[in-house]
Amino acid sequence: MHIEQASESELKTRLEELYASYDQLAERKLALDLTRGKPGVEQVSLSDSLDGVLAGDYRAADGTDVRNYGGLDGLAEARALFGALIGTTPEETLVGGNSSLTLMYQVVDFAMNEGLRGEDTAWALNDSIKFLCPVPGYDRHFSICEYMHIEMIPVPLLESGPDMDEVEKLVKADPSIKGIWCVPRFSNPTGTVYSDDTVERIARLPQIAGDHFIVMWDNAYAVHTLYDDAPALAPISEYCRKYDTMDGVFQFGSTSKITFAGAGVSFIGSSERNLSTLKAHLAFQTIGPDKVNQLRHVRFLKDSAGVTEHMEKHAALIRPRFEAVLDTLDRELGGTGMGEWTAPRGGYFVSFDTRPGLAQEVVDLAGNIGVKLTPAGATFPYGKDEADRNIRLAPTFPSAADVQASVDAFVVCVKLASVKQRLAELEG
Amino acid sequence: MHIEQASESELKTRLEELYASYDQLAERKLALDLTRGKPGVEQVSLSDSLDGVLAGDYRAADGTDVRNYGGLDGLAEARALFGALIGTTPEETLVGGNSSLTLMYQVVDFAMNEGLRGEDTAWALNDSIKFLCPVPGYDRHFSICEYMHIEMIPVPLLESGPDMDEVEKLVKADPSIKGIWCVPRFSNPTGTVYSDDTVERIARLPQIAGDHFIVMWDNAYAVHTLYDDAPALAPISEYCRKYDTMDGVFQFGSTSKITFAGAGVSFIGSSERNLSTLKAHLAFQTIGPDKVNQLRHVRFLKDSAGVTEHMEKHAALIRPRFEAVLDTLDRELGGTGMGEWTAPRGGYFVSFDTRPGLAQEVVDLAGNIGVKLTPAGATFPYGKDEADRNIRLAPTFPSAADVQASVDAFVVCVKLASVKQRLAELEG
C-alpha cells in the first residue's frame, strides 16, 4: 500500500511492527558495511595471475626494459590497450600509476596553478573559479574542488545525464565556470549512462564556455557492465574531433575495478597538446610510472576482447548482489512511496532516494543496528544534500549473504523512518 | 708530467698527438652514454623473481588484502622494513609509490602551499623562500625548487658534507631560508658520506633556523655500498630525538636502485605529526599506494640482512665499472693537474672537476665523438657551474667494455681541452 493512502491507525500498527523488526535486528549484533565501492575478494582473485604473468620476460614489445627508468607516457602497448577502451589513439593516451584520482588531481592542479596554455592561463589568476557538479555525484571529485578552493555549482543529473539546458545556460552566463565533473557511464552513484545527445553537447561545451574550460570525464566504469544489453556510451573523442574540442576534454580511467583496486594502472586521454603540457609538469615530480605493472596488465588483459571477457567474470560475481538489492527494494518498497531507486545496468552502486528529509535518519537508524551506510550528503558538494534524500548503496564488497542481510535491514530502516515521518505529517 | 711544468713546445707536440687520438676515436663512430644514474641490465635482473614472488598469497601479515583499496601509510611490514633502513620506527615511516621524487615534491608542495603546521604556516605566504643547495648536487632537487619559485643558495660540499659553518651562518642570518637538500651517504655526484659531526649539526638546524625550516634528507644511496669498508652514515633520527627536531627533518629513500628502477617502492621517514599532516593532504589525491608491490618487496627482500645481501650482488656487478673509471683516471690523469675526481665507496657516480673553464668544452668534445656526458652545469642550481669545472660520470648502466671505452675517450677529451687551454695561457 502507498504510504500516503494509509490511515493513521494503519500507520500506527505498522510502526509497532517495524519497531519490533528493528529491535530484532538490533539483537543480531550485525556488523555489515554497504559503504565502499570496492571489489569483493572473489573479484580481485580473478586477477591473481597478474603476479608472475611476466614469467621473467620484462621486455616491452619495442624492446624497452621495463625494469629501468624512463618514459612519462607509459608503455606503448599499454597506451594502445587503454586508449582503445576510451576511444583515444595511443598518442592521445598517457598511462600512469595506480590511481586515476591522482591524474585528475594533477590536471586540476596544473590548470589552476600553472596553466594549461602557459602561465597567464592559470585559473588561479582569476578571483573565483567554479565547477559544475552533476548531483548526486562522487565525493572525491568534490573533495578536489574543495581543496583547491573551487566553488561547486550542483546541476541535476537526469536520466540522460547532466541537465544540459541548465549546464549550457550556466557556462554561457558565467566565464568563471572552468570545468564540469562527469562520470559518463554508470555514474557514481546513480548508474546513469549519458545519452548520445548529452555526450555530443558536452563535447561542444568548451566551444561555448569561457576560456580554458575543461570537461573532467571520469570514465571509471567504462567497461563495468552487469548485463550484455547494458547501454553503450557514445565515444566523446569522436564528437571532440568533430567540434575540434579535444583540448577541452580530459578522459580518465583505471583498472582498479578491473584487476586490483589501488594496484592497477590509471590512464588519461586527451589532445596530444594537453598531454605534452601535462608531461612538462609531471617531469618535476616523477621520473615515470611503474612500467612493470603496466606490462603485467597488458600481458594479462591482452586486448579489448580480453578486457570484455574478464569483465564478464566480474559481472557474474556481482550481478547476484545487485539483484539481491533490487529484488528486495522492489518487493519491500515498490509502490509504497517510501523511496525511489535506480536499477543500474553496470557500475558499482545503487542510488536510493528516501522521502525528503529522511536520508540522514535512515543512515543513523542503520548505523545503530550495525549496518554501515555511506554518510548522507556524501554524494553532494560540501556534503550537503539539501533535500536530505540520497543514499548510495554499494553492494559489491560484502558477501552475497551479507548484502542480503544489509538490504533487509535497510528496508526496515527506510520503512521505520518513512512511517514515523508520515505519522508526524498526519498528526502535525 | 704536470701540465703546468710542460714547455710550450712539449705542449704543442702533445696537442698534435691528442688531435690524432681524438680523430681516431671519431672514426670509431662511438655511441656511448655515461649520463644516466641507472642500474645496468644485470643489476635489475637480480630482482627478476619479484614478479611471481607472492605465489598467489596476497595477504599481508595483519591479514590486509593487498589487492583492495585502503591505507595511506603503506603496509605495516613495509614500514618496518624500510624504516629500519633509515632509522625510523614503523610509526614514523610512510611507504608510498614508485618514486621518492614524488614524495619530495609533495612535501615541498604541501609546505609551500598548504603549510605543515596549518594554513598560516604555508611558506607561500612569505615574499621569498630560499633553500640551501650543497654543490655539486642533484639536478632534480634543484628542478623542484625552480618549479616552486624557491631561490637556491649554493653552499660548498666539503669532504665532511655541506660546509656547516656556512650553512649555520646563513640560516641564522636569513629566516626566509626554509630548507636544505642533502644526499647524506654517497652524495650525487661526489660520493661524499657526511661526517658524524655534520649529521649532528644538520639535525640541530631546525632549532637555529627560522620557523618551519625543513631538512630534505634524500638518503637515495643509504645501502648502496661498493666496498665492505664503506663509511657508515650516522643515524640522523637519533640526533633528531636528542634535539627534538624530528618535525624538521624529512628522510626519503626508495628501492629504485635496489630492485627495479621506477618500479620499486619509495618511503619517507619523519615525525608522526608530519606524516599525519602529509596524509591529510595526500588523501585528496590518492586512495593509497600500490600495496601489492609493497608486499612483493617485503617478501623478496625479507629484512635488513636480506637487503644487505642483495646489495652485495649489486656491488659485485658495478664495482668493476667504477674501478675501470678510477684506474683509468689515475693512470692517465694522475699528477697531471688536468683534473680532480672523487673515489667513492658507494653510490652511483664519480664527480670529475676539470681545470676551471673546461667542463662545457670537455662535454662538447666527448659528445662530438659519440660519448654522451651529463650536461656541464647540471649538478648546480639553475644549471650554472660558475667555475665551469664539474662533470658527473655515471658508470653503472653501460657494459663494462663500454665504460672502459667511454672513459678512454673521456681522458683524451680532458687532455685535449687542458693542453689547448694551457697553450693559450702561455701564448696569451
pLDDT at residue B249 is higher than 90: yes
Q: How far apart are CA A396 and CA A411, in angstroms?
A: 18
Q: How far off is chain A from B58, nearest CA to CA, in Å? A: 8
Mean pLDDT calculated for residue range B33-37: 91
pLDDT of residue A210: 87
Q: How far apart are CA B44 and CA B62, in angstroms?
A: 30
Q: Does domain B58-302 match CATH 3.30.450.20?
A: no
Query: Look-up: residue for cell 573479484?
Result: A43
pLDDT tens figures, B216-227:
999 999 999 999
Q: Is B56 on the interface with A (CB under 8 A)?
A: yes
Q: How far off is chain B from A51, nearest CA to CA, in Å? A: 5
CATH superfamily of domain region B3-43+309-427? Aspartate Aminotransferase, domain 1 (3.90.1150.10)
pLDDT tens figures, B260-276:
999 999 999 999 999 99
Provide the angle, in degrees to the nearest 10, between the axes of the packed helices A359-368 and A400-427.
130
Mean pLDDT calculated for residue range B158-168: 98
**Centroid of chain to Cα B307:** 19
pLDDT tens figures, B231-247:
999 999 999 999 999 99
> Which chain A residue lies closest to B141 (C-alpha atoms)?
A284
Give the one of B47, B263, B284 whose C-beta lies nearest to A147's C-beta.
B284
Q: How far off is chain A from B59, nearest CA to CA, in Å? A: 11
pLDDT at residue B305 is higher than 90: yes
Helical segments of A156-303, H only: 164-173, 196-208, 236-243, 272-282, 291-301
Q: How far apart are CA B70 and CA A44, in angstroms?
A: 14
Q: How far off is chain B from A68, nearest CA to CA, in Å? A: 4
Cross-chain residue pair B288–A262, CB shorter than 8 Å: yes
Q: How far apart are CA A261 and CA B265, in angstroms?
A: 17
pLDDT of residue A133: 98
Domain boundaries, chain B: 3-43+309-427, 58-302
Q: Is B299 on the interface with A (CB under 8 A)?
A: no
Give the one of B54, B68, B101 whose C-beta lies nearest to A262's C-beta.
B68
Cross-chain residue pair B98–A44, CB shorter than 8 Å: no
Show residues of chain B in contact with A55, CB under 8 Å.
Answer: 52
Give the one of B66, B263, B284 whose C-beta lies nearest to A292's C-beta.
B263
Grid cell, residue A8, equals: 493513521
> Which chain A residue lies closest to B290 (C-alpha atoms)?
A263
> Which chain A residue lies closest to B98 (C-alpha atoms)?
A290
pLDDT of residue A124: 95
Identify the band that residue B15 occupies on the pLDDT scale cut at 50, 70 and 90: very high
pLDDT of residue A257: 97
pLDDT of residue B1: 82
Grid cell, residue B59, equals: 595477504
Mean pLDDT calculated for residue range B168-197: 98
Identify the band that residue B200 occupies on the pLDDT scale cut at 50, 70 and 90: very high
Show residues of chain B in contact with A106, CB under 8 Å.
Answer: 285
Cross-chain residue pair A260–B68, CB shorter than 8 Å: yes
Give the one of A52, A261, A286 whose C-beta lies nearest to B102's C-beta.
A286
Q: Is A291 on the interface with B (CB under 8 A)?
A: yes
pLDDT of residue A126: 94
pLDDT of residue A1: 82
Show residues of chain B in contact with A56, CB under 8 Å.
Answer: 48, 51
Q: How far apart are CA A177 and CA B2, in angstroms?
A: 70
Identify the band that residue B328 occupies on the pLDDT scale cut at 50, 70 and 90: very high
Q: Is A64 on the interface with B (CB under 8 A)?
A: no
Class of domain A60-302: alpha beta
Identify the band that residue B428 occupies on the pLDDT scale cut at 50, 70 and 90: confident
As a three-state string, the secondary structure of chain B is CCHHHCCHHHHHHHHHHHHHHHHHHHHCCCCEECCCCCCCHHHHHCCHHHCCCCCCCCECCCCCECCCCCCCCCCHHHHHHHHHHHCCCHHHEEECCCCHHHHHHHHHHHHHHCCECEHHHCHHHCCCCEEEEEECCCHHHHHHHHHCCCEEEEEEEECCEECHHHHHHHHHHCCCEEEEEECCCCCCCCCCCCCHHHHHHHHHHHHHCCCCCEEEEECCCCCCECCCCCCCCCCHHHHHHHHCCHHHEEEEEECCCCCCCCCCCEEEECCHHHHHHHHHHHCCCCCCCCHHHHHHHHHHHCCHHHHHHHHHHHHHHHHHHHHHHHHHHHHHHCCCCCEEECCCCECCCEEEEECCCCHHHHHHHHHHCCEECCCCCCCCHHHCCCCCCEEEECCCCCCHHHHHHHHHHHHHHHHHHHHHHHHHHHHC
Interface A–B counts its CB contacts (< 8 A) at 143
Give the one of B106, B283, B292 whose C-beta lies nearest to A263's C-beta.
B292
Whether the ipTM is more than 0.85: the answer is yes
Q: Is B243 on the interface with A (CB under 8 A)?
A: no
pLDDT of residue B210: 87
Identify the band that residue B114 occupies on the pLDDT scale cut at 50, 70 and 90: very high
Q: Is A290 on the interface with B (CB under 8 A)?
A: yes
Cis, bond preceding B395 (omega within 30 deg of 0): no
pLDDT at residue B29 is higher than 90: yes
Q: In CATH terms, are B3-43+309-427 and B58-302 the same topology?
A: no
Q: What is the pLDDT along chain A (428 residues), one digit of tens a residue?
A: 899 999 999 999 999 999 999 999 999 999 999 998 999 999 999 999 999 999 999 999 999 999 999 999 999 999 999 999 999 999 999 999 999 999 999 999 999 999 999 999 999 999 999 999 999 999 999 999 999 999 999 999 999 999 999 999 999 999 999 999 999 999 999 999 999 999 999 999 999 998 999 999 999 999 999 999 999 999 999 999 999 999 999 999 999 999 999 999 999 999 999 999 999 999 999 999 999 999 999 999 999 999 999 999 999 999 999 999 999 999 999 999 999 999 999 999 999 999 999 999 999 999 999 999 999 999 999 999 999 999 999 999 999 999 999 999 999 999 999 999 999 999 87
Decide if B62 contacts B227 (C-beta within 8 A): no
Show residues of chain B in contact with A147, CB under 8 Å.
Answer: 284
Q: Is A293 on the interface with B (CB under 8 A)?
A: yes
